[in-house]
Copies of this chain bind each other. A is one copy, B any other.
Amino acid sequence: MKISIILAHPNPGSFNHAIAGAAADGLRQNGHAVVFHDLCQEQFPALLPASELQKDAPLEPVVARHCAEIAAADGIVIVHPNWWGMPPAILKGWIDRVLRMEVAYRFVANDKGEGVPQGLLRAKSAIVFNTANTPEDRERTIFGDPLETLWKKCIFALCGVKSVQRRTFSVVIISTPAQRAQWLTEVREIMSAHYPPEARSATTQVSNFETSLSP
């Protein structure tokens, strides 16, 4: 399968980078093709210009490439910290520019845009990994955990991605190295559960089996 990983954290040494790296490793070990984007490192141009508001607007090549990739992905993995109950601005801009009309969704004929769109993404599942420094119960009871609603209902459901698993690791700032290592193991397990080894490639499977027995 072809899996897109979209990572947004400005610090290359962040735990978000470790999560995205573990996800990519796990997927590759299972024989999948990984399209990996570290938006900050790549300096993704996050601000949607007025000229792009129209449905058939010409797109910057880098945006057009992101659109083609996400449309072709069999699975999507999103990794970002919880900043104000939302993704960092660069990822918000990726959503604004890449998940556009006719790429990620379409309004039905005779609808001027006020109606119910039809999802267009090919991916059947998405995984969202978040990090947070707010304890889980406080995030849910005080803030209503808006990222749960945003990713599942506002974004992926609208784009036609039916299965979305979200896992938040918290509280990162006071976590021990052992805890973080355990979280990364969990990332690999989640990847394998959703994107198991490619059945068609016997070679890959044997290779994985050997790897798992190595000391």
Contact = CB atoms under 8 A, between A and B. Distances in A.
Contact of A149 (B89, B134, B146): B146
Interface in A55-91: 83-90
A114 interface: yes
A35 interface: no
B171 A85 contact: no
Contacts of A50: 10-12, 40
Contacts of A149: 85, 143-144, 146
Contacts of A10: 47-50, 53
Given A86-B150, A114-B133, A150-B85, A46 B48 contact: no
B174 A114 contact: yes
Interface string A86-129: 11111011011001000000000000111010000000000000
Given A10-B48, A149-B144, A173-B114, A89 B89 contact: yes
Contacts of A194: none
Contact of A84 (B46, B142, B144, B150): B150
Interface string A168-187: 00010110000000000000
A150 B11 CA distance: 25
A162 interface: no
Contacts of A150: 84-86, 146
A84 B99 CA distance: 10
A154 interface: yes
Interface of A: 10-12, 40, 46-50, 53, 83-90, 92-93, 95-96, 99, 112-114, 116, 133-135, 138, 142-144, 146, 149-150, 153-155, 171, 173-174
23 contacts: A10-B49, A10-B50, A10-B53, A40-B50, A46-B89, A48-B88, A83-B95, A83-B96, A84-B150, A85-B146, A85-B149, A85-B155, A86-B150, A88-B92, A88-B96, A89-B89, A90-B93, A113-B133, A114-B171, A114-B174, A144-B149, A146-B146, A146-B149
